[in-house]
A and B are shown apart, each in its own frame.
Chain A
Amino acid sequence: MLKYIYAAAALLILLNGCKPKDGGDKFDRAGMLTNLGNNIILPAHQQFNNSAAALKTMKDSFTGNPSSVTLDSLKAAFLSAYTAYMKVEAYSFTASGETRNLNVFVTDTTQINTNISTGTYNLSAANNIQAKGFPAIDYLLFSRSSNEIVNLFTTDVNAAKRIQYLNDITNEIETVSASASTEWNNSLSQFIGASGTDIGSSVGMLVNDLSFESERCRRERVGNSLGYIGFISSGNVDAHFLEAYHSAFSKELLAANLRELKKLYEGGTGNGFDDYLVYLNAEYNGQPLAPAISNQFDLVIQKAEIIPVDYATALTTKRPDMESLFLELKKLTVMLKVDMSSQLGVIINYSDNDGD
């Protein structure tokens, strides 16, 4: 008996000595990471950085000459930068961890107005996390009619301070986007190199990020405004909980975010997590898991976009559609957080701890 166990051990050691000549039909995790890094994550950051730079330019031309014309251009640049941001929000690690702080809503409008009137604030401070980034610009540019907004930046007593605040929060977006993009450029090889599945590996991080973002869509982008979650609201629908409430751009942002998550999951035209799950023969109640997740992505994207009005309106007029979207997002979250992570052996919400 023991002899055989030793023989088996010796055989394993011998086998380790002669690696196979080529990858064969093995799944190449590093290859998948190369694809995701080069073709999806890096371009998304470059695009975000470009649109953040364009936002900054349009902001400068608006603050230099506030008018409804320059405001319109600025608004367009803002929506395009916000959409581009949706594509990088998922990638929490490296410098882009800071990027998530650019989109913490519900907007704290009281804090924003206090910051403007006092003129002293530290944007990195915790109490300003809901008073900066995209939600703050959304409020500053969209909360009133164009004429009123222009007045706030020209004739209002706090006009100069408001211009300064817009400068600071817009510039911060550009700075963070630039440093995230640079850091991604520099750490790409490290990202591809961490090709295990343990804690700290790139696969581990991405699976956690997919789960996190999917849950954020369910909870924060849809659930909160429906009055479903916690005791944060009276339990009634409340459009103020929507992302981009003032610009009424919630639907477009949600769709952009989900499309990017799907792209990350499928790896575009190259290898992604779906190919990995196919390779592992991962099952979902007797069916292959990989297409089940792809289909669920398609379903939530369709449900997000099919609502014919903006979400604030839909909360009252198309409530069943919003609820249905919420339920499908829940299914997606379960698939990513429970099924995919379990099949890939990735620990979700890992806390550094022993197990057995």
Chain B
Amino acid sequence: MEIKKLKSFLFKETSSAPLIVFRIAFGVMMFLSLVRFAANGWIDSLYVQPKFFFTYYGFEWIKPLNATGMYIVFGLMMLAALFLAAGFLYRFSALIFFLLFTYVELLDKTNYLNHYYFISIISLLMCLLPATKKTVPRWAILTLQLQMAIVYFFAGIAKVNADWLLNAMPLKIWLPTRTDTPFGFLLDETIVAYLFSWCGMLFDISIAFFLFNRRTVWYAYGVVVIFHVLTATLFPGIGMFPFIMIVCATIFLPAQFHERILRAFKFNPQSQIRNPQSPSISTFQYLLVSVLAIHFIIQFTLPFRYALYHNRLFYTEQGYRFSWRVMLMEKAGLVFFHVKDKNGKLHEINNHDFLTDQQEKQMSTQPDMILQFAQFLKNNFQTDEVYAEAYVTVNGKGSNLFFDPKINLANVKDDFSDKKWILAQAER
């Protein structure tokens, strides 16, 4: 009985307008983001200039192409984004976009951003959704809604920690530096940092529930817009993320709204559902839904994997990525590497000889990247001893040794086992 209910709920044919608007908006948004990316010279600075790349564990075989190759990859990605928006070769374009985008993201950890991960997931999901049909089963729209909800919800529970809620960190550091923005005169009030911390946490945790509720969806969407415009104003460094979320959250709005939009643009969506019961469900559909179910089980589990490690998350960053921990801490670091030469003498390495500014900055706060660079130095200098004197500060606590500088990093492999050698600064 319950299964039957669930089945009729998931497979009920509904208007595809929300999905079509989403597809068009997402495609256009991706195209514009890529144009911006290229115009800023980032293809060159992030994927052509670096001599060394911080690959992901298990994806060491993913290598960058030469300059021409990288530009072609981005060109094809832009084309796929436009095709996606136009609904031309839709599933194929979505797949190509997903593969190319994910390929680029896997090249270098340095450039990991939660919203790039989000784009990879959304484009993968879109390969599976029938986003050109006149009507779609409800699960198709629910999939995108659920994915959005996961982003907000996990970003919210990540904020439930002592630093965020009790010390208003890192907002207490970030907000006073933004006194030149609108509302700026308020931003160096400590109470405002607390207000923003708590409101941000409550917003992230609760907003999806209000978006799912038909009676509150429009108010909730208004809050979404206010929230993201505020973050975009205060933190221009986060780039396209707020705008992508504002656009993607339209998936929660009622279908009539999307139909009106489509009509305004002379599209002719089918709003009359001829057969609401939709009796025949293909095996292919069942397969798709099963795949999606697995996807969401992973999505709900992955952010909790940090619990398998020591709870010094902000220092070790074990289980930090792919968990929607967005703008959660103020972390800065500096690492001095030393390698031993054949005569047994230690030499300090000039990191800049091998890394770009961006790579050095990201590496200096993330232990797995420090290990990767140490292994690179080991091979590069044919040495058995590599040491790092690393200093790090989290949420303004003050710089401290990240780990014992006497540890020979040439012997430490980077894997998923607990990095117990990271010093317990956080427990002070």
Interface residues of A (CB under 8 A from B): 1-2, 5-6, 8-9, 12, 15-16, 19-20, 26-27, 29, 195-199, 219, 223, 227-231, 235, 280, 282-286, 289, 330, 333-335, 337-339, 341-356
Residue B350 lies at the interface, judged by CB distance under 8 Å to chain A: yes
B69-77, B396-404, B407-415: which lies at the A interface? B396-404
6 intermolecular pairs with C-beta atoms under 8 Å apart: A198-B236, A230-B350, A342-B332, A349-B360, A353-B111, A356-B239
Residue B349 lies at the interface, judged by CB distance under 8 Å to chain A: yes
Given contacts A15-B183, A353-B358, A356-B115, contact A334 B334 (CB under 8 A): yes
Interface residues of B in 99-139 (CB under 8 A from A): 111, 113-115
Given contacts A338-B334, A341-B332, contact A6 B223 (CB under 8 A): yes
Q: Which of A1, A15, A284 has the most CB of B within 10 A?
A: A1
- Judging by beta carbons under 8 Å apart, are A228 and B398 in contact? no
List 8 A-B pairs, minimum CB-CB distance, nearest first: A354-B239, A345-B177, A285-B398, A342-B332, A349-B357, A197-B177, A196-B180, A284-B398
Contacts of B239 in A (CB 8 A): 354-356
Given contacts A26-B185, A334-B399, contact A356 B326 (CB under 8 A): yes
CA gap between A301 and B238 in the complex, in Å? 40
Residue B58 lies at the interface, judged by CB distance under 8 Å to chain A: no
Given contacts A197-B178, A284-B399, A354-B239, contact A339 B345 (CB under 8 A): no
Nearest residue in A to B174 (C-beta to C-beta)?
A345
- Judging by beta carbons under 8 Å apart, are B396 and A230 in contact? no
- Judging by beta carbons under 8 Å apart, are B327 and A356 in contact? yes
CA gap between A343 and B393 in the complex, in Å? 10
Contacts of B113 in A (CB 8 A): 354-356
Residue B45 lies at the interface, judged by CB distance under 8 Å to chain A: yes
Given contacts A195-B180, A345-B177, A351-B358, contact A283 B398 (CB under 8 A): yes
Given contacts A345-B177, A349-B360, A350-B357, contact A16 B183 (CB under 8 A): yes
- Judging by beta carbons under 8 Å apart, are B400 and A230 in contact? no
- Judging by beta carbons under 8 Å apart, are A330 and B336 in contact? yes
CA gap between A286 and B240 in the complex, in Å? 37
Nearest residue in A to B396 (C-beta to C-beta)?
A343
- Judging by beta carbons under 8 Å apart, are A229 and B40 in contact? no
Contact of B397 among A12, A283, A346, A347 (CB under 8 A): A283
CB distance from A286 to the nearest CB of B (A): 7
- Judging by beta carbons under 8 Å apart, are A348 and B223 in contact? no
CB distance from A226 to the nearest CB of B (A): 10
Residue B203 lies at the interface, judged by CB distance under 8 Å to chain A: yes
Contacts of A219 in B (CB 8 A): 350
CB distance from B303 to the nearest CB of A (A): 15
Contacts of B309 in A (CB 8 A): none
- Judging by beta carbons under 8 Å apart, are B183 and A12 in contact? yes
Nearest residue in B to A333 (C-beta to C-beta)?
B334
CB distance from B248 to the nearest CB of A (A): 15
Contacts of B393 in A (CB 8 A): 338-339, 342
Interface residues of B in 189-237 (CB under 8 A from A): 195, 199, 203, 206, 210, 216, 219-220, 222-223, 226, 236-237
CB distance from A27 to the nearest CB of B (A): 7
- Judging by beta carbons under 8 Å apart, are B186 and A15 in contact? yes
- Judging by beta carbons under 8 Å apart, are A355 and B238 in contact? yes
Contacts of B333 in A (CB 8 A): 338
Q: Is the interface of A mostly helix, strand, loop or mixed?
A: loop
Given contacts A6-B223, A285-B398, contact A343 B46 (CB under 8 A): no
- Judging by beta carbons under 8 Å apart, are B174 and A352 in contact? no
Residue B361 lies at the interface, judged by CB distance under 8 Å to chain A: yes
Contacts of A8 in B (CB 8 A): 195, 199
Given contacts A235-B343, A338-B391, A356-B326, contact A348 B40 (CB under 8 A): no
Residue B317 lies at the interface, judged by CB distance under 8 Å to chain A: no
Contacts of B177 in A (CB 8 A): 196-198, 344-346
Residue B21 lies at the interface, judged by CB distance under 8 Å to chain A: no
Contacts of B115 in A (CB 8 A): 356
- Judging by beta carbons under 8 Å apart, are A348 and B361 in contact? yes
Contacts of A289 in B (CB 8 A): 398
- Judging by beta carbons under 8 Å apart, are A339 and B348 in contact? no
Q: Known A-B contacts: A283-B396, A355-B238. Give 5 more (CB < 8 A).
A: A235-B341, A282-B396, A285-B397, A343-B396, A356-B327
Contacts of B163 in A (CB 8 A): none
Interface residues of B in 354-374 (CB under 8 A from A): 356-358, 360-361
- Judging by beta carbons under 8 Å apart, are B398 and A26 in contact? no
Given contacts A334-B399, A355-B237, contact A1 B357 (CB under 8 A): no
Contacts of B188 in A (CB 8 A): 26-27
Contact of A353 among B42, B174, B183, B199 (CB under 8 A): B42
Interface residues of B in 329-354 (CB under 8 A from A): 330-334, 336, 341, 343, 345, 347-350, 353
CA gap between A5 and B391 in the complex, in Å? 40
Given contacts A280-B176, A354-B238, contact A230 B353 (CB under 8 A): yes
CA gap between A198 and B240 in the complex, in Å? 17
Given contacts A2-B216, A26-B188, A342-B393, contact A337 B238 (CB under 8 A): no
CA gap between A339 and B391 in the complex, in Å? 10
Contacts of A282 in B (CB 8 A): 396
CB distance from A200 to the nearest CB of B (A): 11
- Judging by beta carbons under 8 Å apart, are A228 and B348 in contact? yes
CA gap between A29 and B178 in the complex, in Å? 11
CA gap between A148 and B336 in the complex, in Å? 44
Nearest residue in A to B176 (C-beta to C-beta)?
A280
Contact of A351 among B178, B236, B348, B356 (CB under 8 A): B356
CB distance from A342 to the nearest CB of B (A): 4
Contacts of B357 in A (CB 8 A): 349-351
CA gap between A333 and B389 in the complex, in Å? 13
CA gap between A283 and B115 in the complex, in Å? 32
- Judging by beta carbons under 8 Å apart, are A9 and B226 in contact? yes
CB distance from A291 to the nearest CB of B (A): 13
Nearest residue in A to B210 (C-beta to C-beta)?
A2
- Judging by beta carbons under 8 Å apart, are A19 and B399 in contact? no
Q: Which of B41, B186, B381 has the most CB of A within 10 A?
A: B186
Nearest residue in A to B399 (C-beta to C-beta)?
A338
CB distance from B234 to the nearest CB of A (A): 11
Residue B392 lies at the interface, judged by CB distance under 8 Å to chain A: yes
- Judging by beta carbons under 8 Å apart, are A16 and B334 in contact? no
Given contacts A280-B176, A356-B327, contact A335 B183 (CB under 8 A): no
CA gap between A344 and B41 in the complex, in Å? 28
Nearest residue in A to B118 (C-beta to C-beta)?
A356
- Judging by beta carbons under 8 Å apart, are B199 and A235 in contact? no
CA gap between A228 and B339 in the complex, in Å? 11
